[in-house]
Amino acid sequence: MISQQLLPAADGSGRYPAVEILVATSATRNLIRRGDDHQIRAHIETGRAEGMLTMEQSLVELVRAGRISRETAFAHCYQPADLRRHLDS
């Protein structure tokens, strides 16, 4: 499953996609089957090797590459505390 937001470029030249990706692994399916929805976000955060990505991780990549501003990232994130933690590390 993919969620996407198109964000304005830092230099005003266009837009960049920020994405959140959830891959249907057996572990993901088990979480959904058991109704453990609250654990899915943590699963996405640690599932980088399987191609998963949180919105905050995507926003951090765009900020570090200079494509979007920090202000834009914070205006479009789902978890501001996680975004701040990732940007400051």
pLDDT digits (tens, 9 = 90+) for 9-50: 999 999 999 999 999 999 999 999 999 988 999 999 999 999
Q: What is the pLDDT of residue 37?
A: 87
Percent of the chain beyond pLDDT 70?
A: 100
Beta carbons within 8 Å of 1's beta carbon, 6+ residues apart:
21, 22, 24
Residues whose CB falls within 8 Å of the CB of residue 39, separated by 6 or more in sequence, listed in order: 31
What is the pLDDT at residue 73?
Answer: 98
Q: How many CA atoms within 13 Å lie on the side-chain side of 41?
A: 7
**Report field, pTM of the whole predicted structure over 0.85:** yes
Report the chain's mean pLDDT, rounded to a whole number.
Answer: 95
Q: Is-contact 28 19, C-beta < 8 A?
A: no
Residue boundaries of the structural domains of the chain? 2-88
